[in-house]
Amino acid sequence: MEQSPDRGAGGGDKEWFTIDKTNGPGHGFQYQADDGINCSGGGVEFQRSTDGGVTWQTPINIPNSPIYGT
């Protein structure tokens, strides 16, 4: 591991991640969204895994630039 020259200031934003804990058909599915490479403002990308995170679907671009909340 090494530290970036700007001490992480340009390292981008975190991904948003959740796991479906319902008893429905999506139980255990994992979902993530991020602002793409380097938080370039190129739109939010969404992905889903249906096998515990072993594989992920191809990212889908979400239109209309949604704003994340914490």
pLDDT digits (tens, 9 = 90+) for 44-65: 888 999 999 999 999 998 877 6
pLDDT for res 69: 57
pLDDT for res 38: 54
How far apart, in Å, are the Cα atoms of 68 and each of 4, 14, 31, 43, 58? 26, 11, 14, 12, 21
Residue scoring higher pLDDT (25 or 70): 25
pLDDT for res 52: 93
Instruction: Tell me the per-residue pLDDT of 5-53, one tens digit each, with 9 for 90 and over.
Output: 655 555 555 568 899 999 999 999 999 988 765 555 667 888 999 999 9
Under 8 Å between Cβ of 32 and 19: no
pLDDT for res 29: 96
